[in-house]
Amino acid sequence: MTLFIYDHTFDGILSCIFYAYEHKTFPDAILSDADQRPLFIDEWHHIETDEKKSQRVWTALERKLSKSAQNMVLLVWLSELPETEMLLFGYFRKIIDHQHGFEMNFGDSDVLRVKEIARKVNGEAEKIRQFVRFQKTKDGIFFAPISAQYNVLALVAPHFRSRYPDQPWIIYDIARNFGLYYDTHSLQEVTFSLQDLKSFKSRKLENEKLSETEIYYQNLWKEYFETIAIKERFNPKLQRQHMPKRFWKYLTEMQ
d(CA 136, CA 142): 4
Say what the pTM is: 0.85
Q: Which of the pair, 79 or 217, is modelled with greater confidence?
A: 79
Residue 246 has a pLDDT of: 83
Residue 232 has a pLDDT of: 76
DSSP for 107-161?
TSHHHHHHHHHHHHHHHHHHHHHHH---EEBTTS-EEEEE--SS--HHHHHHHHH
pLDDT band at 39 (very low <50, low <70, confident <90, very high): confident
Residue 220 has a pLDDT of: 77
Task: Pick the closest to residue 170 from 204, 127, 137 (CA basis).
Answer: 137
pLDDT by residue (tens digit) across 61-101?
999 999 999 999 999 999 999 999 999 999 999 999 998 89
pLDDT band at 203 (very low <50, low <70, confident <90, very high): low
146-167 average pLDDT score: 95
pLDDT band at 143 (very low <50, low <70, confident <90, very high): very high
- Classify burial at 223, counting beta carbons within 10 Å of its beta carbon; exposed 0-12, middle 13-18, buried 19 or more: exposed
d(CA 107, CA 115): 12
Residue 240 has a pLDDT of: 78
Q: How far is CA 144 from CA 63, 221, 222, in A?
A: 40, 17, 18
pLDDT band at 130 (very low <50, low <70, confident <90, very high): very high
The helix/strand/coil state of 45 is strand
Task: Pick the closest to residue 255 from 215, 216, 222, 213 (CA basis).
Answer: 222
pLDDT by residue (tens digit) across 166-193?
999 999 998 899 999 999 999 999 998 8
Whole-number percent of the chain with pLDDT over 70: 94
Q: Which of the pair, 229 or 162, is modelled with greater confidence?
A: 162
**Across the chain, what does the average pLDDT equal?**
89
Residue 47 has a pLDDT of: 96
221 has a pLDDT exceeding 90 = no
Q: Which of the pair, 101 or 204, is modelled with greater confidence?
A: 101
Q: Which of the pair, 140 or 207, is modelled with greater confidence?
A: 140
229-244 average pLDDT score: 78
136-141 average pLDDT score: 88
152 has a pLDDT exceeding 80 = yes
119-144 average pLDDT score: 92
Q: How far is CA 54 from CA 35, 48, 61, 94, 96, in A?
A: 22, 11, 11, 17, 14
